[in-house]
Amino acid sequence: MDVFKVNGNVPLKGEVHVGGAKNAALPILAATLLTEEKVVLRNVPDLSDMRFMLEILRHIGADTIQPEPGVWEITAKEITHIAPYELVRKMRASVCLLGPLVSRLRKAEVSIPGGCVIGPRPIDLHIKGLKKLNCKVDISNGYVHVDASDIKGGPIFLGGRSGSTVTGTANIVMAAVLAPGTTRLECAACEPEVVDLCEMLVKMGAQIEGVGSPELTITGREKLHGCEYSIISDRIEAGTFIIAGAMTRGDVNVKGIAPKLLGAFLDKLEEAGLPMELGADNIRVTPYKGSLKPVDVITLPHPGYPTDLQAQIGALMTQTEGLSIITERIYPHRFMHVPELQRMGAEISIEGPSAIIKGASQLSGAQVMASDLRASAALILAALASKGETWIQRIYHLDRGYERFEKKLTTIGAQIERLSDKDIPKELLQY
Ligand code: EPZ
């Protein structure tokens, strides 16, 4: 298994380019099932989650061709309605196949995704939305069975106890675009990745009003046609590199990202006093002396502070004098990185849904274990700011959502290399 070896305490310097957004590409790949015509997607990131989704599309019957890196041509002429457990279990986001299969075939059988370490991942709102579209939904043997022969548009309130649902909104929008009648979707997610999906659906001929707002009005069409579409940049990858520059007091220019995609995140960093220069399509972190200011962060649905950048700002706050409080309102258990950061010398205590971080601690390199995608990123950020050598195991979690992460970090001066767990020094394994 691959591991990362990181030598920390090196200020990062230079330019890094952001790739396509994983959380836009996943529902957009599923949306290619909505037409029998060819869909050409550009700026598709090369991630294990993408490879899983493409494998499922092929299993369902779609043709997938990669004419060049980052570009995929998908044609779903003849498709079946079943997404099997052995494929879906690898990636829970494959639940967003439900909408397109229901739309295109008027039936679907999709394995219920497993949970994951960040907490339970229910799909009750997805099911509620499908039922509101007059679908018959039955859960048995670990599958969601949908009979959509009488599907029709209607009013849907899709909010749950944590507010809106990102893939739930994607699913219901994709189910509604070919449903006879009009669907008025309230409490729709407004994440940029949902906007990107809607914009592609409109390019395919879908009729959606209110894109980007919590109220969408979808008028069902007979058919959708193919299109060419370029996926938006990954704001979470961009935010991760911005924190990498801040943690090492470096000078890092993150290119290919519009600051408007990171409103709440940049606002919080400004409050912390991080010097940044914002361009139309880039964000530059510049060196600073002394300490940033501690912050109080609560994660919320967009446009609130993104939960996918919670672990990363937590790592930064270990380097910031004073007490910072980070409250996780979307996934209350999303603190798997904390015990590992504590092993590196961070002073953090978990009080219910909040992490209380006492900075500034001098972090020291250690052997740590990644547990989930964004926790892995936080461990690498901490390693970059640590004195000495850090070995990070189970980095397959990271490969799900960051393309060539160590290579991009190396281009801005990080001392990080991808090795095998067999390379971990014996003396380290004694602990
Ligand atoms: C998407 O997950 C993202 N994944 C997640 O990113 C992200 O953390 C999350 O949205 C929140 O922004 C993809 O887009 C592939 P939700 P999703 O449905 O859609 C509750 C990453 O690191 N809920 O918006 O699964 C749920 O428990 C990943 O890139 C219900 O109660 O998240 C949570 O508390 C991790 N019932 C809240 O809503 C439902 O039917 C938000 O979940 C659905 C969700």
Q: Where are the domains of the chain?
A: 2-19+233-428, 22-230
pLDDT score of 115 more than 70 = no
Residue 431: C-alpha distances to residues 340, 345, 368, 376 (Å): 14, 16, 11, 21
Cβ–Cβ under 8 Å, residues 1 and 421:
yes
Strand, coil or helix: what is 274? coil
Residue 24: C-alpha distances to residues 187, 347, 399 (Å): 19, 35, 17
Residue 227 φ then ψ, to 5°: -165, 175
pLDDT (tens digit per residue) in 268-279: 999 999 999 999
Amino acid at 311: A
**Residue whose CB lies within 8 A of the most ligand 1 atoms, among 121, 126, 132, 187, for a mutation test:** 121
Amino acid at 67: P
**Residue whose CB lies within 8 A of the most ligand 1 atoms, among 158, 162, 337, 400, for a mutation test:** 162
Residue nearest to atom 33 of ligand 1 (CA): 330
Choose, from 96, 116, 135, 198, the residue flagged as catalytic. 116
Give the helix, strand, coil percentages of the chain, each rounded to 5.
Answer: 35, 30, 35
- Residue 391 CA to residue 263 CA, distance in Å, equals 33
Question: How many angstroms does the Cα of residue 123 sit away from the middle of ligand 1?
Answer: 9
- Its sign, for the CA torsion 12, 18, 24, 28, is negative
Residue nearest to atom 9 of ligand 1 (CA): 166
Question: How many angstroms does the Cα of residue 167 sit away from the middle of ligand 1?
Answer: 7
pLDDT (tens digit per residue) in 312-365: 999 999 999 999 999 999 998 899 999 999 999 999 999 999 999 999 899 999
Those residues whose C-beta lies under 8 Å from the C-beta of residue 86, and which sit 6 or more positions away, are: none
Using pLDDT thresholds of 50, 70 and 90, give the confidence band for residue 382: very high
Question: How many angstroms does the Cα of residue 165 sit away from the middle of ligand 1?
Answer: 6
Edge-to-edge strand order for the sheet containing 251-255? 13-17, 251-255, 282-285, 276-278
Question: How many angstroms does the Cα of residue 332 sit away from the middle of ligand 1?
Answer: 12
Specify the pLDDT at position 162.
Answer: 87
pLDDT score of 97 more than 80 = yes
Per-residue tokens: 84: 């099997």
Strand, coil or helix: what is 266? helix
Cβ–Cβ under 8 Å, residues 408 and 241:
yes
DSSP code at position 14:
E
- Give the position, in ligand 1's atom list, of the atom nearest the Cα of 168: 18
Which protein residues are within 6 Å of ligand 1, measured from CB? 22-23, 26, 93, 120-126, 160, 162, 165-168, 307-308, 330-331, 373-374, 401
Continuous segment of H or E residues that includes residue 4: strand 2-7
Instruction: Please name every residue paired with 364 in a beta bridge, in sequence order, or none if there are none.
Output: 387
Q: Which top CATH class is 22-230?
A: alpha beta
Is CATH 1.10.3720.10 what the domain over 2-19+233-428 is classified as, yes or no?
A: no
Specify the pLDDT at position 262.
Answer: 98
Specify the pLDDT at position 430.
Answer: 63
Residue nearest to atom 6 of ligand 1 (CA): 308
Strand, coil or helix: what is 167? helix
- Residue 277 CA to residue 246 CA, distance in Å, equals 13
* Rounded mean pLDDT, 273-296: 97
Those residues whose C-beta lies under 8 Å from the C-beta of residue 331, and which sit 6 or more positions away, are: 118, 119, 307
- Give the position, in ligand 1's atom list, of the atom nearest the Cα of 123: 40
Residue nearest to atom 43 of ligand 1 (CA): 123
Using pLDDT thresholds of 50, 70 and 90, give the confidence band for residue 53: very high
- Give the position, in ligand 1's atom list, of the atom nearest the Cα of 116: 35
Question: How many angstroms does the Cα of residue 417 sit away from the middle of ligand 1?
Answer: 31
Question: How many angstroms does the Cα of residue 120 sit away from the middle of ligand 1?
Answer: 10
Percent of residues, the chain, with pLDDT higher than 70: 99
Cβ–Cβ under 8 Å, residues 367 and 424:
yes
Question: How many angstroms does the Cα of residue 299 sit away from the middle of ligand 1?
Answer: 12
Cβ–Cβ under 8 Å, residues 45 and 404:
no
E strand residue ranges, 272-377? 276-278, 282-285, 296-298, 322-327, 347-351, 354-359, 367-369
pTM listed for this prediction: 0.97
Q: Which of 421, 399, 418, 422 is nearest to 90 (CA)?
A: 399
- Residue 155 CA to residue 182 CA, distance in Å, equals 8
- Give the position, in ligand 1's atom list, of the atom nearest the Cα of 306: 12
Q: Which of 61, 29, 22 is nearest to 174 (CA)?
A: 29
* Rounded mean pLDDT, 159-184: 97
Specify the pLDDT at position 261.
Answer: 97
N residues, the chain: 431
- Give the position, in ligand 1's atom list, of the atom nearest the Cα of 128: 40
Residue 187 annotated in active site: no
- Give the position, in ligand 1's atom list, of the atom nearest the Cα of 401: 29
pLDDT (tens digit per residue) in 217-239: 999 999 999 999 999 999 999 99
**Residue whose CB lies within 8 A of the most ligand 1 atoms, among 330, 371, 400, for a mutation test:** 330
Question: How many angstroms does the Cα of residue 93 sit away from the middle of ligand 1?
Answer: 9
DSSP class per residue in 101-133: HHHHHSEEEEEPPP-BTTB----HHHHHHHHHT
